[in-house]
C-alpha cells in the first residue's frame, strides 16, 4: 500500500493499491463514525465497480444507498445536484453521514459539491476511477458544476476525508481517456519533475502506473498544501491550460478533449517561450515527442487572434493580463504576468 498524506486545513490520506476497491468499506470505516454512506457513480462506472463497492460498504456495517447519473460532462449540472439532495434527504442522511464518489472527475466534482452543500457540509470520500481523476481532480478540494455560462462556474472547496485509488480500475477505462489523463501526467513532469518526464519518455507509463500516480498526486499535494485556495503556486498546475482552455472554448467543448487541448497548449506556450530564450533549447521538441507517444495532438489550426480573445474572457484573467505558466526547463516552471496586449505577439 502506498500512502500519500495531505496536510491541508483538514488532513487526509490518499491510499494507492491494486484491488483496493474491494476493501473500500473497511478503509472508509477507519476514518468515519458515519452510519450511512451515499454512493454516487455514473452509468459506465456502475457496470464495473458499483456492486463491489456496495458489497464492501455493506460488509463494513454501513447502511448504503446509491445514486447513478448518466455518464458525461453534460450531466454536471445543478439539476443533477438537486436530484442528489432529494435522494440524500429521502435516505435520512444526517450531518455525520458521508458521500462516496466512485468515478471520474465529473463524479468527484459533483459528489464533492453535493457534500459541501448538503446540510451546510458533510464529509466525502473519493474513489477516482479515471486516470485524470486519479492524478488530478481527486486531490486538491475543488468541487463544482457547470452552468450555461461556463464550466465549473459554481463550486466550493471541500477536502475529502480519504482518497482511495485502485490503479486496476484503469483496465476498463477507454484508451481515449487514458490519453486524456496522460496530458496532465506530462504536465506534472514539465512543471516540477524532470525525472518523471524522463521516465515517461523511456517507459510505457501504464507499465509503471502505480509509481506515476503516486508521483503525480505527491506533486499536486505539495503544491496544493502550500496554496490551498489558489493565489500563487497553485497556478503552476495551469501549465498549458491558459491556451488549452481557449481551444476548448473555440471548439465549444466538443471535438477536442481537455487533455488534447492541454497538450496543444503546453506545446504552443513552450514553443513561444523557447523562441524568446526563456526556456532551455530542445524542451519543445521533447514535449512534442512525449505527447505524440501518448497519442495527443501537438498543434491546431485555430486562429491565434481567436485564441487570445478567448484567453481574455477566462475567469482567471484579471485586470487585462494573464498569469502565464512558463518553463525554465523541463521540470522547472514559473509564473509570468503578461498583459493581454502582448500575448498575441508572444505566442505568434
Ligand X SMILES: NC(=O)c1ccc[n+]([C@@H]2O[C@H](COP(=O)([O-])OP(=O)(O)OC[C@H]3O[C@@H](n4cnc5c(N)ncnc54)[C@H](O)[C@@H]3O)[C@@H](O)[C@H]2O)c1
Q: Are 113 and 145 in contact (CB under 8 A)?
A: yes
Catalytic: which of 33, 120, 252, 305?
Answer: 120
Q: Are 197 and 290 in contact (CB under 8 A)?
A: yes
- For position 73 contacting ligand X by CB under 6 A, the verdict is yes
Identified binder of ligand X from the candidate list 8, 32, 152, 194, rule CB under 6 A: 152
Catalytic: which of 238, 248, 249, 286?
Answer: 238
- For position 169 contacting ligand X by CB under 6 A, the verdict is yes
Q: Are 197 and 185 in contact (CB under 8 A)?
A: no
- For position 142 contacting ligand X by CB under 6 A, the verdict is yes
The C-alpha atoms of residue 135 and residue 206 are separated, in whole angstroms, by 13
Binding window for ligand X (CB under 6 A); candidates: 79-87, 136-144, 297-305, 323-331: 136-144
The C-alpha atoms of residue 159 and residue 118 are separated, in whole angstroms, by 15
- For position 193 contacting ligand X by CB under 6 A, the verdict is no
Q: Are 22 and 52 in contact (CB under 8 A)?
A: yes
Identified binder of ligand X from the candidate list 109, 193, 248, 300, rule CB under 6 A: 109
Note if 245 is an active site residue: yes
Identified binder of ligand X from the candidate list 29, 36, 52, 76, rule CB under 6 A: 76
CA atoms within 13 A on the CB side of 60: 24
Least Å distance, CB 296 to ligand X, is 14
Binding window for ligand X (CB under 6 A); candidates: 15-23, 67-75, 228-236, 307-315: 67-75
Q: Considering just the CA atoms, what is the radius of gyration of the chain in Å?
A: 20
Nearest residue to 165 via CA among 184, 183, 139:
139
Nearest residue to 224 via CA among 51, 11, 56:
11
What is the distance between the terminal CA atoms of the chain, rounded to a whole angstrom? Answer: 47
Least Å distance, CB 31 to ligand X, is 21
By CB atoms closer than 10 A (0-12, 13-18, 19+), residue 33 is exposed
Least Å distance, CB 83 to ligand X, is 17
- Helices 304-312, 241-250: inter-axial angle, 10-degree rounding: 100
Q: Which residues contact 175 (CB under 8 A, 6 or more apart)?
A: 295
Identified binder of ligand X from the candidate list 88, 93, 99, 107, rule CB under 6 A: 107
Cα dihedral value 42, 297, 139, 61, nearest 10: 30
- For position 241 contacting ligand X by CB under 6 A, the verdict is no
Binding window for ligand X (CB under 6 A); candidates: 71-79, 185-193, 197-205, 334-342: 71-79
Identified binder of ligand X from the candidate list 25, 105, 244, 331, rule CB under 6 A: 105
Catalytic: which of 220, 221, 249, 286?
Answer: 220
Q: Tell me which residue has cell 525525472.
A: 195
Note if 120 is an active site residue: yes
Residue placing its CB nearer to ligand X in the complex, 264 or 288? 264
Residue placing its CB nearer to ligand X in the complex, 40 or 45? 45
Secondary structure class of 247 (helix, strand, coil): helix
Binding window for ligand X (CB under 6 A); candidates: 58-66, 167-175, 281-289, 300-308: 167-175
- For position 132 contacting ligand X by CB under 6 A, the verdict is yes
Binding window for ligand X (CB under 6 A); candidates: 10-18, 130-138, 290-298, 328-336: 130-138
Q: Are 123 and 60 in contact (CB under 8 A)?
A: no
Catalytic: which of 75, 76, 215, 241?
Answer: 241
Note if 234 is an active site residue: yes
Question: Active-site residue numbers?
Answer: 120, 142, 184, 220, 230, 234, 238, 241, 245, 258
Residue ranges binding ligand X (CB under 6 A): 42, 44-45, 48, 71-73, 76, 103-107, 109, 129-130, 132-133, 136-137, 140, 142, 151-152, 169, 172-173, 177, 180
Amino acid at each position: 500500500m502506498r500512502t500519500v498524506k495531505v496536510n491541508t486545513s483538514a488532513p487526509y490520506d490518499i491510499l494507492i493499491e491494486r484491488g483496493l476497491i474491494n476493501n473500500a468499506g473497511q478503509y472508509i470505516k477507519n476514518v468515519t463514525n458515519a452510519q450511512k454512506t451515499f454512493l454516487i457513480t455514473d452509468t459506465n462506472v456502475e457496470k464495473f465497480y458499483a456492486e463491489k463497492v456496495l458489497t464492501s460498504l455493506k460488509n463494513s456495517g454501513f447502511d448504503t444507498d446509491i445514486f447513478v447519473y448518466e455518464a458525461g460532462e453534460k450531466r454536471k449540472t445543478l439539476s443533477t445536484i438537486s436530484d442528489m439532495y432529494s435522494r440524500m434527504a429521502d435516505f435520512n442522511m444526517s450531518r455525520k453521514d458521508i458521500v462516496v464518489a466512485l468515478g471520474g472527475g465529473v463524479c468527484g466534482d459533483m459528489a464533492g459539491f453535493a457534500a459541501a452543500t448538503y446540510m451546510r457540509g458533510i464529509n466525502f470520500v473519493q474513489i477516482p476511477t479515471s486516470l485524470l481523476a486519479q492524478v488530478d481532480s481527486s486531490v486538491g478540494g475543488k468541487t463544482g458544476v457547470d452552468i450555461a455560462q461556463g464550466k465549473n462556474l459554481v463550486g466550493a472547496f471541500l477536502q475529502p476525508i480519504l482518497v482511495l485509488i485502485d490503479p486496476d480500475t484503469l483496465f476498463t477505462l477507454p484508451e481515449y481517456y487514458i490519453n486524456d489523463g496522460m496530458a496532465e501526467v506530462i504536465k506534472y513532469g514539465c512543471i516540477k519533475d524532470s525525472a518523471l518526464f524522463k521516465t515517461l519518455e523511456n517507459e510505457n507509463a501504464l507499465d509503471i502506473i502505480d509509481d506515476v500516480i503516486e508521483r503525480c498526486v505527491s506533486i499536486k499535494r505539495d503544491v496544493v498544501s502550500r496554496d490551498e485556495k489558489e493565489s500563487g503556486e497553485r497556478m503552476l498546475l495551469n501549465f498549458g491550460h491558459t491556451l488549452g482552455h481557449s481551444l476548448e472554448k473555440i471548439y465549444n467543448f466538443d471535438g477536442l478533449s481537455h487533455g488534447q487541448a492541454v497538450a496543444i497548449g503546453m506545446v504552443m506556450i513552450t514553443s513561444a517561450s523557447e523562441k524568446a530564450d526563456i526556456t532551455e533549447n530542445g524542451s519543445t521538441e521533447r514535449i512534442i515527442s512525449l505527447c505524440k507517444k501518448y497519442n495527443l495532438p501537438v498543434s491546431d489550426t485555430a486562429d491565434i487572434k481567436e485564441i487570445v480573445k478567448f484567453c481574455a474572457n477566462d475567469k482567471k484573467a484579471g485586470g487585462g493580463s494573464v498569469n502565464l505558466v512558463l518553463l525554465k526547463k523541463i521540470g522547472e516552471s514559473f509564473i509570468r504576468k503578461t498583459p493581454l496586449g502582448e500575448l498575441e505577439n508572444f505566442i505568434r
